[in-house]
Structure 1
């Protein structure tokens, strides 16, 4: 494995420790698919247990750092520059249905910018990781975004709002425009992994709206260190807090942004 800093070692160790419980719980969730009740509650408990394990590991290693977590919320630290951003189970619905497309996402935000990230899928043992200025890796292999420049040959990933979430009409319109101009669209259901797949060149671009900071912080760092571009969908810089994100290789970033831009209203 490439040399990892003390910081990255702490993050990877925390992810792997929580992953052991998640894999056990994933097996249980798969077994519960024949049941009519209890699966959702079981997965919620698995989510909470994983977050607690990560919180304990990182608190022990860096006691002054703050936290932003999906379940526990925000915890201020004595160190105002550094805070951990944690999603213990990205892709909960996939996990719930026994689909092995979920991940632990851990990011370190330094001075309100993504500094380091780990996205780990325990079901496939794929560990994506990056630290600012050090490149991006999948397990022990250096990764880079794709070099495709022809939009018609590019594969995009997206997220679509599920029942009760706003923005479905706009998302479907965006998806239609992308489908008309590219090789296809995939909707895998785990934003952190979608971003990691852009970093590894599996997807050429990814976009989604109404996301939280813990959905994107780690993946964004990995994409940038893999040579890609990350912004809000309209090109703004506040993707951590705005909720919209576009990640793409540098060859098609501008084309992707133009494709997703809402057309002017008639009249």
Structure 2
């Protein structure tokens, strides 16, 4: 069936019985934007704004942007059938989503987006590029200096979650904070997750996920009161030692990490640990 701009479009919240139709949309349609996320778009079903566009009883588009942390929402997914005017259906969904986010008193709305077609939609709706997430890869050929922080990180356990969340809230600005449920989901997907403690308690953590030839350092945080003591580097060093002890069956070990292009403190830690820029980056857009 072909859809046109003249076909009436109904915008409504997604419902649980939309699961199959949404899964098909996210799987098959060409206009398919997804946030860098630990959750699949369909896993946000039951939260709002998760809006769908319906024509003649058939779902033709969806926009997923529910807040996870207080005051902040990321555009987590947008999908549209290739036969409909994508600009028109985006505007219809975005206008309704923005009304809902305004009512929830969301003050920061952002998207991480590489796709030119999606960047165009964002900019047409008041988003502006403000930063970029850059990708770095570890150079295993260069020797690693031993960490100066004396205590070796230990394995993270579920009982650490409240303290890990507290560190995350303390060391990241609101836009880049994660909720405790999201951190727990990251932990569930991790190949290695470790923490550092001192006499005051838990002061740093890292969560790394597996990749086909090694791992990806997905999250690294050190409490502000403990920064400058080499704790971030100690966590990265320990992770690299653990990954090197489990090399891939085929090929050389690859370890990657993402961070904001403007995050000088993180970049300094990764540079010390012999991570190098790959040239890949993900533009960050914020709504104004």
TM (normalized to structure 1)?
Answer: 0.28
Judging by fraction of residues, say which structure has more helix.
Answer: 1
- The higher radius of gyration belongs to 2
TM (normalized to structure 2)?
Answer: 0.27
Judging by fraction of residues, say which structure has more strand.
Answer: 2
